[in-house]
Amino acid sequence: MKILITGGAGFIGSNFIFYERKMHPTYELVCVDKLTYAGSMETLESLLGDSKFRFCRADITDRQEIEKIFTTESPDVVVNFAAESHVDRSIENPSVFLETNTIGTQVLLDACCRHGVRRFHQVSTDEVYGDLPLDRPELMFTEQTPLHTSSPYSASKAAADLLCNAYYRTYKLPVTISRCSNNYGPYQFPEKLIPLMISRALKDQPLPVYGQGLNVRDWLYVEDHCAAIDRILEAGEPGRVYNVGGHNEMRNIDIVKRILEVLGKPENLITYVEDRKGHDRRYAIDPTRIHKELGWLPSVRFEDGIRGTVRWYLDHRAWWEHIESGAYQQMNERLSAAVC
């Protein structure tokens, strides 16, 4: 079995590579990543000598490069994590989101049709459903909830999901889609809420919280997301969407306060800043389908996951400090030149 994993130098993709390496040591894994600002080769450095792992630096929107990689590698399965993933950046510059998240997905779908694969799995997001009101806790996103996006990021991901469905219906490409809630855990780029708050608190810097911090997200430990994708690859039905979530809704302000508590830092580090434009109020995933049909359930309780995550950022200070200083970009050049 050979799996081609796009975006594997990013947060969830790299965790997925480590998960597959652990659970299926005989699988060959090929990582395709452009190494944008969000990719770090330092994350994958420990795998570079592994004979069952290959890294190819390539842009998923580059048809020729992708064609070359498919011709050389002939993957059995493709899992597409590659994306521009930060909502704030999509508000500043939507174009690159449409290029990578939408057109890039279409380039991969075309390559899969030409070369034939057992499965194309699209890693999507709960953000394609839009948001829910704060005062209706009984409402949750199911796979039947209409797509109703708010940001250029979520719109570009929803467009990709629709293309995946179209390729399944039109070309019979065996496609599955997972729509997951917010992830947290090791190797998350320090611009995202949890690592940003941890790194700033460790330096006793102010912690910027949008609005009053009342927006609610459903948090899932990243390895549980990886396990869900692995399960979908094994037993998921082509043409089907699977919601993935942990029934773990929390307000942003409560997450930030919990991090401060774990680190033993004072709450007066919190600074409230002007809210994000079009900020989604609440996301809540109903993961009944993946539980009933595929037997997946999250295994990490938030309390354990957040403690482990804070511990990881304390123990891997060099990893995120290299990102903050920009040193990781030289490492990206050096380490990718050696393998591509």
Ligand X SMILES: NC(=O)c1ccc[n+]([C@@H]2O[C@H](COP(=O)([O-])OP(=O)(O)OC[C@H]3O[C@@H](n4cnc5c(N)ncnc54)[C@H](O)[C@@H]3O)[C@@H](O)[C@H]2O)c1
Residue 234: other Cβ atoms inside 10 A: 10
| Closest-approach residue to ligand X (CB) | 10
Residue 127: other Cβ atoms inside 10 A: 24
Q: Give the contacts of 72 (CB within 8 A, at least 6 positions apart).
A: none
Please tell me whether residue 36 binds ligand X under the rule CB under 6 A. Answer: yes
Selecting among 42, 129, 131, 153, the annotated active-site residue is 153
Chain-centroid distance, C-alpha 204: 28
Q: How far is the CB of 267 from ligand X (least distance, A)?
A: 25
Report the residue from 3, 4, 5, 13 that binds ligand X according to the rule CB under 6 A: 13
* Cβ closest to ligand X, residue 73 vs residue 269: 73
* 126 belongs to the catalytic site: yes
* 37 belongs to the catalytic site: no
Question: Binders of ligand X among 295-334, rule CB under 6 A?
Answer: none
Instruction: Tell me the residue type at 326.
Output: G
For residue 185, give both structure tokens: 């855990």
Please tell me whether residue 228 binds ligand X under the rule CB under 6 A. Answer: no
Residue 37: other Cβ atoms inside 10 A: 15
* Cβ closest to ligand X, residue 7 vs residue 174: 7
Please tell me whether residue 183 binds ligand X under the rule CB under 6 A. Answer: yes
Please tell me whether residue 33 binds ligand X under the rule CB under 6 A. Answer: yes
The Cα 140–Cα 154 span in angstroms is 17
Please tell me whether residue 128 binds ligand X under the rule CB under 6 A. Answer: no
* Cβ closest to ligand X, residue 250 vs residue 269: 250
Please tell me whether residue 81 binds ligand X under the rule CB under 6 A. Answer: yes
Q: How far is the CB of 241 from ligand X (least distance, A)?
A: 13
Question: Binders of ligand X among 94-123, rule CB under 6 A?
Answer: 100, 104, 123
Q: Do residues 73 and 2 lie in contact, with contact meaning Cβ atoms separated by under 8 Å?
A: yes
Q: Do residues 76 and 131 lie in contact, with contact meaning Cβ atoms separated by under 8 Å?
A: no
* 127 belongs to the catalytic site: yes
Q: Give the contacts of 68 (CB within 8 A, at least 6 positions apart).
A: none
Residue 312: exposure state from Cβ atoms within 10 A (0-12, 13-18, ≥19): middle
Phi and psi (nearest 5°) for 113?
-65, -45
Report the residue from 3, 4, 5, 9 that binds ligand X according to the rule CB under 6 A: 9
Q: How far is the CB of 243 from ligand X (least distance, A)?
A: 11
Question: Binders of ligand X among 48-67, rule CB under 6 A?
Answer: 59-61
Q: What does the binding site for ligand X look like in residue numbers (CB under 6 A)? A: 6-7, 9-13, 33-36, 38-39, 59-61, 81-85, 100, 104, 123, 125, 157, 180, 182-183, 189
